[in-house]
Structure 1
Amino acid sequence: MSDIVAAAVEALGAKLGDAGIDGSAKFVIEGEGALIIDSDGVRASDDDADVTLTADADVFQSILEGDINPTSAFMSGKLSVDGDMGMAMKLASALA
């Protein structure tokens, strides 16, 4: 696991708390690895998920810091979404 993925797991875990989400989402950080968010919380993993969101490390960091809205990142092509768009929207709300 890369340092960026490890830091992302920690940051997302802190942001989302212990609640997790109903369903599953995977963040793929290009060139670094992937993490899963589900009802168990956040962990480094490349398992299958209801939705997969892909971005580079800078965009992912900006989303976590609140500098970029996930919806805006998607609309501008900086974030790609594959799978359940409803789950992506739930995740975007949780990250806001």
Structure 2
Amino acid sequence: MTVDQIEAQMKANALNFVGLGALVKFELGGGSTLFIDGRTTPPTISREGGTPDTTLTISPENLAKLADGKLAPTLAFMTGKLKVSGSMGIALKLANMLED
């Protein structure tokens, strides 16, 4: 799945991130990034954003699996497929939103 496809999928499911209350950056490698701005209603998904509260580093393939529910966020973190910097609380809140 390409970054464009992941972005489109996340935009289609943006309402899942209502209540996040933070800016989350996904670093996808190769200079590609996606942002979820959960400070707005409805949340916005874009390629540009400000200073994030939390940064998640993950491959596009694994992000697609997370978004599809085929990879549990906790498992991704524990196996090193997902790295978190910044607020772990926000990362956990996002994980719960992805698992629902």
Q: Shorter-chain TM-score: which interval?
A: 0.7 to 0.9
Tell me the TM-score normalized by structure 2: 0.81
Is the aligned partner of 1:34 residue 2:37? Answer: no
Q: Using the alignment, how far apart are the partners of 1:4 and 1:17 within structure 2? A: 22
The offset of 1:5, in angstroms, is 2.6
The offset of 1:23, in angstroms, is 1.1
User: Percent identity among equivalent residues?
Assistant: 33
Q: Using the alignment, how far apart are the partners of 2:36 and 2:11 within structure 1? A: 9
Give unpaired runs (5+ residues) of structure 2.
none
Give unpaired runs (5+ residues) of structure 1.
none
User: Residue 70 of structure 2 aligns to a residue in which SS?
Assistant: coil
Q: In the alignment, which residue of structure 2 is the partner of 1:11? A: 9
The offset of 1:64, in angstroms, is 1.0
The offset of 1:46, in angstroms, is 5.3
Verify the 8 A CA contact 1:21 1:37 in the aligned structure 2: no
Query: 1:75-94 residue pairs with structure 2 within 5 A?
Result: 75-94=78-97
Tell me the TM-score normalized by structure 1: 0.84
Verify the 8 A CA contact 2:20 2:90 in the aligned structure 1: no
Q: String of CA shifts for 1:55-88, please: whole Å, max 9, x gaps.
A: 1111111111111011110011011001100000
Runs of 4+ in 1 over 6 A off after TM superposition: none
Verify the 8 A CA contact 1:9 1:35 in the aligned structure 2: yes
Greater alpha carbon shift after TM alignment, 53-62 vs 30-39: 30-39
The offset of 1:32, in angstroms, is 5.2
User: Residue 22 of structure 1 aligns to a residue in which SS?
Assistant: coil
User: Residue 17 of structure 1 aligns to a residue in which SS?
Assistant: helix
